[in-house]
Structure 1
Amino acid sequence: MTLLDMEKKLCVPALLVLVLLSASIADSQQLQSSQSQTLLRIQQLLHFPPALSLWNSSTDFCNSEPNPSLTVVCYGDSVTQLHIIGNRGGARLLPKSFSMDSFVTTLVKLSDIKVLTLVSLGLWGPLPGKIDRLSSLEILNVSSNFLFGSIPHELSTLANLQTLILDKNMFTGELPDWIGSLSGLTVLSFRKNMFNGSLPSSLSGLSALRVLDLASNRFNGEVPGLSHLTNLQVLDLEGNCLGSRFPRLGDKLVTLILSKNRFRSGITSEGMSSFYQLQHLDLSSNTFIGPFPTSVLSLPGITYLNISHNKFTGRLNVNLSCNSELMLVDLSSNLLTGSLPTCLKPSSRNRLVSYSGNCLDTALENQHPVSFCSNEALAVGILPQRKKRKISKAGLASGITAGVSGLVLLVVVLFVFVRRINAEKTAKKAHPRLIMENASTRYTSKLLSDARYISRTMTLGAVGIPAYRTFSLEELEYATNNFETSAFMGEGSEGQIYRGKLKDGFFVAIRCLKMKKSCNTQNFMQHIELVAKLRHRNLVSFLGHCFECYLDDSTVSRMFLIFEYVPNGNLRSWISDVHMGRLLTWEQRISTAIGVAKGIQFLHTGIVPGVYANNLKTTDVLLDNNLGAKISSYNLPLLESVGKKMSSSGRKDGEKLDIYDFGVILLELIVGRPLKTKSQVDVVKEQIQGSVSEEDAAARRSMVDPTVHRECSDQSLKTMMEVSVRCLLEDPWERPSIEDVLWNLQFASQVQDGSPGRATASS
């Protein structure tokens, strides 16, 4: 065989191998190209966020260096993990052209993906059910976006799902019962959404669960038994309306947060001592009653303990022991007595301890007298504990005899006393004097029967505001220097108002009302007990009351209503006058509008029946030290008997009247000047309505207060204008609900965040 023949024979198989190899490479490139095109399409649909700025057609996605904003992990030629994180400080909403449905349609082409993280990217719209096509999905995190609506039922088919995080979105509706079918879940976090309703009992079946975070939603009712969740380490239910019983829990918890709810009972020292791994416990801002379980101080892992703003009772002693790693303890605003434990006294340890607002035997921090805690405990139905002892029959008989004798003696004394009082009444003219009530009286049966007026949102109390109580006239005279002229703030149809400073340094506003001769305390006590619980961070809260009565017939001569003092003036002065050299920025105006809207929402839904037709104006909105908005004038049923003109509007009519008034407030925030007549409001509304319908952003900006028109983004401004115009529609039934208003205002705030024109102050 010649050399030429051999070359010909070898050439044929070599050529065949080359062809097969080329075909294989081409097939591999085709698969990789499909995945690459999907990723580039995702970049386009997300409007080229900074995290994806380096992607292009030549990017080797599977071998790219990961960073905190972007990670792509591949197995073979398929993407198995995709992490995209936008602006952590708050993403801007994607444009109106964005479609969540189209985005998910593209996303599911990455069919082998197991871990998907899409955080702070401005995604908006309902979460499509077709996301269940990612059947291999184990971790889904779409937090800090603008997704709304209910959770799609199709998620229940993701059998491999282990982590589901939907934090900081706008999801609504109840938590579905099918959530219990995701048996492999280890992390379930729906923090900061708008879920409502009760928690499903199926949660107790998620035996693999390690983290359950449902904080800052609107859940209510009892917490289902979670004692079977033996792997649960973190439970955070803060900021809901859950309660009243302390939940049944497993003993492996490391973090337990139940603050800002309506839990009331069910804690025992024996139960708490079983949490041997517990490190972080927060029970603050509830209505817990009964003895404080002191054993929690010495739990082997405890480092953080907060039980403030409850009604825990019990006597502390100096010999109580504490865990050496305990770094923060807050026992303030309870009903604790006795001595502060030695382990909680100031020492060289870097430990923060607060215990003000109790009845402890110490000169440090503000303490009430022991009688205060005793009266308060009785008012909430906590009886002092006594040791049981056996009583003999002879002792019982002696006790009955002594009791009867004492009763006879008491009747005789009362008879003599009444005759003496009658003689004094005829001898001299009756004069007004103060009738002191107990600092905390027992709830009457009438009040308890009317407890339905207090709603689930009642417990969202204003942080830092003292508990409601009865004041003495001497306290008010001290606070106002005997009601001197310098303390006088003004006078209106609801009486004179004074500014005062209590002995503990807390500033108050005191309204003095002169009463008709026929008025007596019983006419007001039910109303007072109810409005005392109208606590919300966006309302000026009641702090207490004081009656001055005539001796002859116990009728009320004067009634004093004590409110929290809000120091920074009213909203109108901050948008139409230079207030201490400053005007509100655009962001602050949106924040103020949101605060007022939340206050209105509370008035409408915080008690049943709601408080409507409040005749709100910018002069009725006060700003606190942090420029937080507080509504100072609302249509209280208490003042109906005092002479305030009450609206006869029904629920729906009154609700829509408040929406109209809120629209006027929004107009003033936008244009920066007072609108005192309806004709002025109508003119500005027509101008704004015309500018909203135009595409010219400059036309809209020309309508805005000149001090802020450079800093507001067009989308934010347009949203504010649209909301105000809708609130001012002539047909009340076409005006939006307060929930709809709130959603749009929050949208305006999110759109404004991160815009180039942001500013922090206007001079």
Structure 2
Amino acid sequence: MSGAKIFLCGAVVAVLSCFFVQFAGAQITDPSEVTALKAIRNSLIDPFNELKNWDSGDPCTSEWTGITCYNSTLSDGYLHVQELQLLKRNLSGNLSPELGQLSYMKILDFMWNKINGSIPKEIGNITALELLLVNGNQLSGPLPEELGYLPNLNRIQIDQNHISGPVPKSFANLNKTKHFHMNNNSISGQIPSELSRLPELLHLLLDNNNLTGSLPPELSRFPKLLILQLDNNNFSGSSIPASYGNMAQLLKLSLRNCSLQGAVPDLSRIQQLGYLDLSQNRLTGSIPSSRLSDNITTIDLSNNLLSGSIPSSFSDLPHLQRLSLENNKLNGSVPSTIWENVTLTGNESLILDFQNNSLANITSALNPPANVTLLLYGNPVCANANQLNIVEFCQPQIVQAPGGSTNSKISCPPCPTDLDYENNPLYPIPCFCSVPLALGYRLKSPGFSDFRPYEHSFEEYLTSGLLLYLYQLEIVSFLWEEGPRLRMYLKLFPNATLFNASEVRRIQDMFTGWLIPDSDIFGPYELLNFTLGSYGPVISNASRSGLGTGAMVGIVLGAVAGAATLSAVITMLILRRHSKYRLVPKKRTLSRIPVKIDGVKDFTFEEMALATNNFSSSTQVGQGGYGKVYRGVLADGTVVAIKRAQQGSLQGSKEFFTEIELLSRLHHRNLVSLIGYCDEEDEQMLVYEFMANGSLRDHLSARCKEPLKFSMRLRIALGSARGILYLHTEADPPIFHRDIKATNILLDSKFIAKVADFGLSRLAPVPDTEGTVPAHVSTVVKGTPGYLDPEYFLTHKLTDKSDVYSLGVVFLELLTGMHPISHGKNIVREVTTAYQSGMMFSVIDSLMGSYPSECIEKFVSLALRCCQDETDARPSMAEVFREVENIWRMTPEVDVTPSESTATDAGKTVTPPSSSLAAGNPYVSSDVSGSNLLSGAIPTITPR
């Protein structure tokens, strides 16, 4: 190398050395925040050593427990703490004033610990703070005025502590705050009328405190308030302002046991009101006769001094669950109209508690339905209970809101014991063992008195908010607590055997970040505990700092970089200065499983990079759990599909090798061909023939521009069955695929179906020493939920009939367009129910257009026989292929020797019957052109 080049290299080395040193210094936590965190640690008592890793390393780069940092440095060059989440860690001690130095923090969470002392005023310095969560501790002292100047605060939860003193007037400055949860403390003084200026407030929960004075009429000015809950305070001598009837958005008004006087205001203008509790006050006068909202579930006016009759406006309230008027001075007759026009179904019920009033008459015979509870004890009318035949209604009772378990267990074989496996009682296939997450969950202000009618709605609300399926949630139990609040014990089951670490973190963040949308009927919630169980070590060791791999490498390089290392890097770059692609090929290493198989090409990483333009996003054509799929063009012009695993995954090297080894010796027109592979350090890729028309699932989607017609679907079924039949009977030795599904049936440019993805495949049993072939392979259950053979689930015995079951599900997808599992519904059950009830055609995919009904009937029957729970009840793959071929042959005017090299089909078509087999099968006319032949259209003949 010339002197000039040496000088240039030296200069570059010097510059890069400075860069790496500076870069390394930047990727650390702000030193002032490190100091603050250590002070916070020292102020806490940690009996179970939950914060043991706070004693060494950098908070952001060493993954300190509960610490989440920003994904990149800010303008000052340091990393900063974004979240401090220490939910239920058995911590005691005090909150350190140094918390105020975490000025970039958005979430401060110390919920459900045993921390005492006061809330530091320095928290008011954290201008980025959005969630202040310290509920469920032993905090005392007043609320700092400084908290009222947090410009981004969304939620303040200080409930269930011992906080005293008044609500600071400065809280009226919290213009972004939506949730004030300050219940169950010792807060005193009057509610500041200035709070009514808050433009975004949704929930004001100040119940169970020592508030006094008058109820401010100004609270009616809240523009968005949904819940006003002030129970168990002492507004002695105050009345309920009439202006509260103008709170148009209000969903819940709860002023129980507040020493209120005066009249019940007219609340009929609150069109969304669902829950009204004014009980245990000293309210007088009559009950307003105007009708309340149709959304009302609960009206509790008990334990007051109300007089007059029970108004007829309480009749015909469609969602009413409880009307409590006991312990008043109401007179007149018992109004049977309240229940006469109410329709209650299922587990819906209505409680009418009129005990201890002055009701002296009945207007007609009292005969409420079984799910209406009528309580009349303590009324004059009960003096003649025997003559009036109302003895059953005159017994003293205290009606409690029901609780208990919601799902019954089924008898299943025991699950493995190495992890916290459980049977998911709601999984579409019985006795599926997986590891759930357990959590304690509480509705803080529900808008109903009886949860049972809302159970399914709650399941839909929570699973949709968490982006889970209905069957992944089990409500183990629910219990009403003082408040009233509804406490639940929930389990969340994975869609496979385990949640991965990122999914657990996502779910936890959804709860702790309050990212689940609010619900009008269920109100605000709180997370009581989030039990990781078997996931604990996985999550605690997983990085939550958000630092990329490059940042971590930068830190290491910055620390160890020297002139020799940098010179080597520069030399390499100079030698490759003419390369079109700046991505350096990985160093070749020995495969973790030796892969050298004749007939399959071994590609280099650089060849793969060249074929995909450096794995450009523009070449990506798919993505799955293993990684991404790219469309590539090899040096000889061959178009290929390259499946690139996420580093270190590809479902494991064993499956990588399995697919190569199997596909290298499988050659059939209905199986995807393997062209080659790449197995270099930390990179594993499989190279297949390119399938221009993607997967079968792509073409069953409602978003598909040209839906598949019946004849094309039948061709795909025939090709798929032929490919699997080859695996079972002609491959040597035979093979069980073990993961047949619509996404693993690919379509080439001529719509020829080809079975793909052999990573989970197993060789069929071989004859033993006596020449007997075992009927099954004993193996760990693997596959895709919705396609898995139930008997394989239960026994771990894999057979050829396991593939038959999976293909039967694919056939049902072809017929209906449905997913195997969708919104808690299982395709096998749905089609079976429709078939048995004579409504088979109601589930046939409307996008398919016209079809021959007789062929549909036979195809449905075959698919359901493939999906029988018992192995012996299913046909063999040879029988499946033969029956599909017969259906093909009986399709009117179809080519009886279908060619897989063309896409021309013919036959009669019929308009889909509207409801049942009895609806008939009139034929309709249709023209045939080249375009609709490819879509599977079939010409018509004269109606018979």
Same fold per TM (> 0.5)?
no
Q: TM-score, normalised by structure 1?
A: 0.43
After TM superposition, the score normalised by the length of structure 2 is 0.35
The structure with the largest helix share of the pair is 1
